[in-house]
A = this chain, B = another copy of it.
Protein backbone atom coordinates (compact mmCIF):
# COMPACT_ATOMS: atom_id res chain seq x y z
CA UNK A 1 0.00 0.00 0.00
CA UNK A 2 1.23 3.47 -0.89
CA UNK A 3 0.21 7.01 -0.22
CA UNK A 4 0.77 9.19 -3.23
CA UNK A 5 -0.16 12.59 -4.54
CA UNK A 6 -2.10 11.66 -7.67
CA UNK A 7 -2.84 13.98 -10.55
CA UNK A 8 -6.36 14.18 -11.87
CA UNK A 9 -6.45 13.35 -15.56
CA UNK A 10 -10.17 13.62 -16.15
CA UNK A 11 -13.20 14.61 -14.14
CA UNK A 12 -16.56 13.95 -15.76
CA UNK A 13 -20.10 14.44 -14.64
CA UNK A 14 -22.17 11.34 -15.41
CA UNK A 15 -25.72 11.70 -14.14
CA UNK A 16 -27.71 12.96 -11.15
CA UNK A 17 -25.03 13.27 -8.44
CA UNK A 18 -22.52 10.86 -9.95
CA UNK A 19 -19.04 11.68 -11.25
CA UNK A 20 -16.25 9.74 -12.91
CA UNK A 21 -12.62 10.62 -12.26
CA UNK A 22 -9.39 9.26 -13.73
CA UNK A 23 -6.27 9.60 -11.60
CA UNK A 24 -2.63 9.14 -12.51
CA UNK A 25 -1.12 6.91 -9.83
CA UNK A 26 1.08 4.17 -11.36
CA UNK A 27 2.30 2.96 -7.96
CA UNK A 28 -1.25 2.02 -7.14
CA UNK A 29 -2.44 0.67 -10.50
CA UNK A 30 0.54 -1.70 -10.58
CA UNK A 31 -1.02 -3.64 -7.72
CA UNK A 32 -4.72 -2.85 -8.10
CA UNK A 33 -7.43 -5.32 -8.98
CA UNK A 34 -11.19 -5.50 -8.87
CA UNK A 35 -12.99 -5.24 -5.55
CA UNK A 36 -10.24 -3.23 -3.95
CA UNK A 37 -10.60 0.43 -3.08
CA UNK A 38 -8.54 3.54 -2.52
CA UNK A 39 -8.68 6.15 0.24
CA UNK A 40 -8.99 9.74 -0.91
CA UNK A 41 -8.17 12.69 1.33
CA UNK A 42 -9.97 16.05 1.25
CA UNK A 43 -8.05 19.29 1.18
CA UNK A 44 -10.32 20.65 3.88
CA UNK A 45 -8.35 20.55 7.09
CA UNK A 46 -11.47 20.22 9.21
CA UNK A 47 -12.41 16.93 7.48
CA UNK A 48 -9.50 14.74 8.20
CA UNK A 49 -10.50 11.16 7.56
CA UNK A 50 -9.93 9.46 4.22
CA UNK A 51 -12.89 8.67 1.97
CA UNK A 52 -12.90 5.05 0.74
CA UNK A 53 -13.91 4.73 -2.93
CA UNK A 54 -13.90 1.52 -4.97
CA UNK A 55 -11.67 1.09 -7.97
CA UNK A 56 -13.89 1.19 -11.04
CA UNK A 57 -11.28 0.70 -13.71
CA UNK A 58 -7.53 0.75 -14.30
CA UNK A 59 -5.31 1.38 -17.27
CA UNK A 60 -2.10 -0.31 -16.14
CA UNK A 61 0.03 0.74 -19.10
CA UNK A 62 -0.59 4.40 -18.44
CA UNK A 63 -0.86 4.08 -14.67
CA UNK A 64 -4.39 5.43 -14.61
CA UNK A 65 -7.05 4.56 -12.08
CA UNK A 66 -10.71 5.38 -12.35
CA UNK A 67 -13.29 5.95 -9.68
CA UNK A 68 -16.98 6.62 -10.08
CA UNK A 69 -18.54 8.26 -7.08
CA UNK A 70 -21.66 9.90 -5.73
CA UNK A 71 -21.49 13.27 -4.02
CA UNK A 72 -22.89 11.94 -0.75
CA UNK A 73 -21.59 14.73 1.46
CA UNK A 74 -19.10 17.54 1.72
CA UNK A 75 -15.99 15.42 1.06
CA UNK A 76 -17.16 13.85 -2.18
CA UNK A 77 -18.67 17.18 -3.18
CA UNK A 78 -15.20 18.67 -2.90
CA UNK A 79 -13.73 15.87 -5.00
CA UNK A 80 -16.25 16.74 -7.69
CA UNK A 81 -14.90 20.31 -7.91
CA UNK A 82 -11.36 19.17 -8.72
CA UNK A 83 -10.24 19.66 -12.28
CA UNK A 84 -7.78 17.80 -14.45
CA UNK A 85 -4.31 18.87 -13.43
CA UNK A 86 -5.26 19.21 -9.77
CA UNK A 87 -3.80 16.83 -7.22
CA UNK A 88 -5.32 14.60 -4.61
CA UNK A 89 -3.76 12.43 -1.92
CA UNK A 90 -4.56 8.74 -2.31
CA UNK A 91 -3.63 5.57 -0.44
CA UNK A 92 -4.16 2.18 -1.92
CA UNK A 93 -4.91 -0.26 -3.21
CA UNK A 94 -6.70 -1.48 -0.09
CA UNK A 95 -8.45 -4.76 0.58
CA UNK A 96 -8.63 -8.25 -0.84
CA UNK A 97 -10.75 -7.88 -3.95
CA UNK A 98 -12.85 -10.44 -5.78
CA UNK A 99 -11.66 -13.97 -6.48
CA UNK A 100 -11.86 -14.59 -10.22
CA UNK A 101 -12.99 -18.19 -9.80
CA UNK A 102 -16.23 -18.16 -11.79
CA UNK A 103 -16.82 -19.98 -15.03
CA UNK A 104 -20.24 -18.43 -15.47
CA UNK A 105 -20.51 -15.23 -13.49
CA UNK A 106 -23.44 -13.13 -12.38
CA UNK A 107 -22.43 -9.62 -11.38
CA UNK A 108 -24.97 -7.64 -9.39
CA UNK A 109 -24.40 -3.95 -8.78
CA UNK A 110 -26.79 -1.58 -7.09
CA UNK A 111 -26.48 2.19 -7.24
CA UNK A 112 -23.01 3.32 -6.33
CA UNK A 113 -22.11 -0.38 -6.00
CA UNK A 114 -22.11 -0.59 -9.78
CA UNK A 115 -18.68 0.97 -10.49
CA UNK A 116 -16.50 -1.82 -9.01
CA UNK A 117 -18.37 -4.33 -11.21
CA UNK A 118 -16.81 -2.77 -14.28
CA UNK A 119 -13.24 -3.70 -13.46
CA UNK A 120 -14.45 -7.10 -12.30
CA UNK A 121 -16.20 -7.70 -15.62
CA UNK A 122 -13.05 -6.69 -17.47
CA UNK A 123 -10.87 -8.98 -15.40
CA UNK A 124 -13.25 -11.89 -15.92
CA UNK A 125 -13.28 -11.12 -19.62
CA UNK A 126 -9.47 -11.04 -19.68
CA UNK A 127 -9.50 -14.40 -17.91
CA UNK A 128 -11.36 -15.76 -20.91
CA UNK A 129 -15.01 -15.56 -19.94
CA UNK A 130 -17.17 -14.77 -22.94
CA UNK A 131 -19.83 -12.10 -23.11
CA UNK A 132 -22.41 -14.80 -22.48
CA UNK A 133 -20.63 -16.04 -19.40
CA UNK A 134 -20.67 -12.61 -17.78
CA UNK A 135 -24.16 -11.53 -16.85
CA UNK A 136 -24.28 -8.06 -15.33
CA UNK A 137 -27.42 -7.10 -13.43
CA UNK A 138 -27.52 -3.40 -12.65
CA UNK A 139 -29.97 -1.77 -10.29
CA UNK A 140 -30.50 1.94 -10.77
CA UNK A 141 -32.55 4.47 -8.89
CA UNK A 142 -33.76 6.13 -12.02
CA UNK A 143 -31.18 7.15 -14.65
CA UNK A 144 -28.39 4.84 -15.85
CA UNK A 145 -24.62 5.19 -16.04
CA UNK A 146 -21.71 3.01 -17.24
CA UNK A 147 -24.12 0.71 -19.13
CA UNK A 148 -22.43 0.98 -22.57
CA UNK A 149 -19.07 0.16 -21.03
CA UNK A 150 -20.46 -3.02 -19.54
CA UNK A 151 -22.16 -3.95 -22.82
CA UNK A 152 -18.81 -4.23 -24.60
CA UNK A 153 -17.85 -7.30 -22.58
CA UNK A 154 -20.94 -8.61 -20.83
CA UNK A 155 -24.64 -9.28 -21.15
CA UNK A 156 -26.38 -6.50 -19.31
CA UNK A 157 -29.73 -6.64 -17.50
CA UNK A 158 -31.24 -3.58 -15.90
CA UNK A 159 -33.70 -2.87 -13.14
CA UNK A 160 -34.72 0.40 -11.60
CA UNK A 161 -36.66 1.48 -8.54
CA UNK A 162 -38.84 3.72 -10.65
CA UNK A 163 -39.21 1.33 -13.56
CA UNK A 164 -38.01 4.13 -15.82
CA UNK A 165 -35.29 1.84 -17.20
CA UNK A 166 -35.23 -1.96 -17.35
CA UNK A 167 -37.66 -3.86 -15.24
CA UNK A 168 -39.21 -2.20 -12.21
CA UNK A 169 -37.71 -3.65 -9.08
CA UNK A 170 -34.33 -4.65 -7.73
CA UNK A 171 -31.50 -6.80 -9.04
CA UNK A 172 -33.04 -9.97 -7.62
CA UNK A 173 -36.27 -9.21 -9.42
CA UNK A 174 -34.30 -8.79 -12.64
CA UNK A 175 -32.33 -11.98 -12.03
CA UNK A 176 -35.50 -13.95 -11.57
CA UNK A 177 -37.29 -12.21 -14.40
CA UNK A 178 -34.55 -12.91 -16.92
CA UNK A 179 -33.80 -16.27 -15.34
CA UNK A 180 -30.12 -15.46 -15.05
CA UNK A 181 -27.91 -18.24 -13.74
CA UNK A 182 -24.23 -18.84 -13.05
CA UNK A 183 -21.83 -20.55 -10.69
CA UNK A 184 -20.74 -17.43 -8.86
CA UNK A 185 -22.55 -14.25 -7.89
CA UNK A 186 -20.49 -11.12 -7.37
CA UNK A 187 -22.33 -8.28 -5.68
CA UNK A 188 -21.86 -4.75 -4.47
CA UNK A 189 -24.50 -2.31 -3.34
CA UNK A 190 -26.57 -1.09 -0.40
CA UNK A 191 -26.99 -3.35 2.61
CA UNK A 192 -30.67 -4.24 1.99
CA UNK A 193 -29.74 -5.42 -1.50
CA UNK A 194 -26.84 -7.46 -0.16
CA UNK A 195 -29.12 -9.04 2.43
CA UNK A 196 -31.55 -10.03 -0.30
CA UNK A 197 -28.73 -11.47 -2.38
CA UNK A 198 -27.35 -13.34 0.61
CA UNK A 199 -30.71 -14.98 1.06
CA UNK A 200 -31.18 -15.62 -2.65
CA UNK A 201 -27.80 -17.25 -3.03
CA UNK A 202 -28.28 -19.46 0.01
CA UNK A 203 -31.72 -20.53 -1.17
CA UNK A 204 -30.34 -21.27 -4.61
CA UNK A 205 -27.00 -22.62 -3.37
CA UNK A 206 -24.94 -20.30 -5.51
CA UNK A 207 -21.54 -19.24 -4.23
CA UNK A 208 -21.58 -15.50 -3.73
CA UNK A 209 -18.96 -12.84 -3.12
CA UNK A 210 -20.28 -9.58 -1.72
CA UNK A 211 -18.50 -6.32 -1.12
CA UNK A 212 -19.35 -4.56 2.15
CA UNK A 213 -19.24 -0.96 3.30
CA UNK A 214 -18.82 0.48 6.75
CA UNK A 215 -17.68 3.74 8.26
CA UNK A 216 -13.90 3.79 8.21
CA UNK A 217 -11.29 5.79 10.09
CA UNK A 218 -7.79 4.56 9.21
CA UNK A 219 -8.81 2.71 6.05
CA UNK A 220 -5.80 0.42 6.40
CA UNK A 221 -6.62 -2.13 9.07
CA UNK A 222 -5.39 -0.49 12.24
CA UNK A 223 -8.36 1.02 14.03
CA UNK A 224 -11.04 -1.70 14.02
CA UNK A 225 -13.74 0.80 13.09
CA UNK A 226 -14.98 -1.00 10.00
CA UNK A 227 -15.82 -4.48 11.19
CA UNK A 228 -18.56 -6.79 9.99
CA UNK A 229 -20.05 -9.57 12.06
CA UNK A 230 -18.91 -12.99 10.90
CA UNK A 231 -20.50 -16.39 11.30
CA UNK A 232 -17.28 -17.94 12.62
CA UNK A 233 -14.62 -16.68 14.99
CA UNK A 234 -12.03 -14.88 12.91
CA UNK A 235 -8.43 -15.92 13.24
CA UNK A 236 -7.07 -12.38 13.32
CA UNK A 237 -9.59 -10.82 15.69
CA UNK A 238 -10.31 -13.97 17.76
CA UNK A 239 -13.95 -12.85 17.83
CA UNK A 240 -16.77 -12.92 15.31
CA UNK A 241 -15.62 -9.72 13.67
CA UNK A 242 -13.58 -9.01 10.57
CA UNK A 243 -12.22 -5.76 9.27
CA UNK A 244 -13.93 -4.73 6.06
CA UNK A 245 -11.04 -2.55 4.93
CA UNK A 246 -8.28 -5.15 4.82
CA UNK A 247 -9.94 -8.53 5.44
CA UNK A 248 -12.62 -7.45 2.93
CA UNK A 249 -14.27 -5.52 1.50
CA UNK A 250 -15.19 -8.73 -0.36
CA UNK A 251 -16.50 -11.69 1.63
CA UNK A 252 -18.25 -14.90 0.74
CA UNK A 253 -21.90 -14.38 1.58
CA UNK A 254 -22.00 -17.22 4.07
CA UNK A 255 -19.07 -15.82 6.04
CA UNK A 256 -20.79 -12.68 7.24
CA UNK A 257 -23.88 -11.59 9.14
CA UNK A 258 -25.49 -8.51 7.64
The chain B residue with its CB closest to the CB of A47 is: B45
The chain B residue with its CB closest to the CB of A74 is: B45
- Could you tell me which residues of chain A, from 103 to 156, have a CB within 8 Å of some CB in chain B? none
Q: What band does the interface of chain A fall in when counting residues whose beta carbon is under 8 Å from B?
A: under 10
A46: B residues at CB distance < 8 A: 45-46
- A179 contacts B by Cβ under 8 Å: no
A44: B residues at CB distance < 8 A: 45
A48 CB to nearest chain B CB (Å): 9
A45: B residues at CB distance < 8 A: 44-46
A44 to B42, CA, bound (A): 12
A78 to B246, CA, bound (A): 37
Task: Report A12-54 CB contacts with B as 1/0, cut-off 8 Å.
Answer: 0000000000000000000000000000000011100000000
A216 to B46, CA, bound (A): 22
A123 to B43, CA, bound (A): 43
The chain B residue with its CB closest to the CB of A45 is: B46
A86 to B183, CA, bound (A): 57
A154 to B45, CA, bound (A): 46
